[in-house]
Amino acid sequence: MKILAFGASNSKSSINKTLAHFTATLIHHADVEVLDLNDYALPIYSEDIEKDVGQPEAAKRFFEKIGAADGVIVSFAEHNGTYSAAYKNLFDWASRIDQKVFQNKPTLYLATSPGPGGAASVLAAAKGSAGFFGVDLRAAVSVGSFYDVFDANSGRITDPTVLSELTSAAEALVLEDSVERVAS
């Protein structure tokens, strides 16, 4: 099983990228590819630019990566209560290729932040719109106070409750006929 994981942030030290990667390691026998949004830099989306340049190669590559995966793990960074500009821009470009950006792939949504809120606002927004964008949402988990529950030395979640939630979510991602779909 090929799992695509990424943090919806362009921070070089993204805790969301770290969380997405860690959660992917909970899926046994998975071939995991971790994307870095910095590899998909694009001009700010506008209809005018799209008319001039068409679909940029970076947007096509991102869309193709999702299409080639058996499952997707996204961990959303929250910037002022919503998506990071880097993710939103890449997503906007990819949605011009096909509105069903996630191509009905089994998907796990995560979000984390240094504070106790766990980026819950952006996670709620992502869950609310998932159905419009071809997301087969299997689970969604918000992790608050990331630096209190993640040990950088071992690269592991240390809080047993959070680890249990992430493990259950990872298992739901790979179930063939997951009965626990997340309500939008």
CATH number at 11 reads 3.40.50.360
- Tell me what pLDDT residue 171 has: 96
Here the tokens at position 94 are: 């990819």
Residue owning tokens 């419009």: 132
Low-confidence residues in the chain, pLDDT < 50: 178-180, 183-184
CA distances, 157 to each of 38, 134, 143, 145 (Å): 25, 30, 10, 11
Q: How many domains does the chain have?
A: 1
pLDDT at 177: 53
Q: Is residue 21 part of a domain?
A: yes
Domain region containing 35 = 2-174
| pLDDT value, residue 184 | 45
Residue keyed to tokens 């990424």? 6
Report the distance separating Cα 29 and Cα 127, nearest Å: 27
Residue 124, domain member (yes or no): yes
Asked if residue 87 is part of any domain, the answer here is yes
Instruction: Please indicate, yes or no, if residue 36 is contained in any of the structural domains.
Output: yes
**Secondary structure element (H or E) that encloses residue 152, with its range:** none
Asked whether residue 65 is domain-assigned, the answer is yes
Predicted confidence at residue 175, as pLDDT, reads 84
pLDDT at 170: 97
Q: What are phi and psi of 65, to 5 degrees?
A: -60, -45
Q: Distance (Å, rounded) from C-alpha 176 to C-alpha 28?
A: 15
